[in-house]
């Protein structure tokens, strides 16, 4: 079965079954943010402390991402 066939079959499911399928699939993925090393976290913290990076709010982050996606 191809991915396109799986997508079509999944989208044909009722809402409750789609929710169950989505939850099952999400359980097979690694948690978000697990690909960031301790070294990178320390470097980002040092960048903030030194002023090389600016801290922004979540709302500002979302605004910037949405802006970039529209480009």
Q: Residue 62: how many CB atoms within 10 A of its CB?
A: 11
What is the per-residue pLDDT for 30? 83
* 49 and 66 share one domain: yes
Range of the domain at 8: 1-33
* 45 and 26 share one domain: no
Count the domains in the chain. Answer: 2
Which residue would you say has higher pLDDT here, 62 or 33? 62
* 41 and 52 share one domain: yes
What is the per-residue pLDDT for 35? 82
* 55 and 40 share one domain: yes
Predicted confidence (pLDDT) per residue in 3-57, tens digit? 999 999 999 999 999 999 999 999 999 887 678 889 999 999 999 999 999 999 9
* 5 and 28 share one domain: yes
């Amino acid at each position: 079965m191809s991915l396109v066939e799986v997508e079509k079959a999944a989208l044909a499911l009722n809402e409750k079954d789609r929710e169950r399928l989505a939850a099952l699939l999400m359980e097979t993925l690694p948690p978000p943010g697990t690909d960031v090393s301790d070294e990178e976290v320390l470097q980002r913290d040092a960048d903030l402390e030194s002023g090389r990076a600016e801290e922004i709010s979540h709302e500002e982050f979302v605004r910037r991402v949405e802006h970039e996606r529209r480009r």
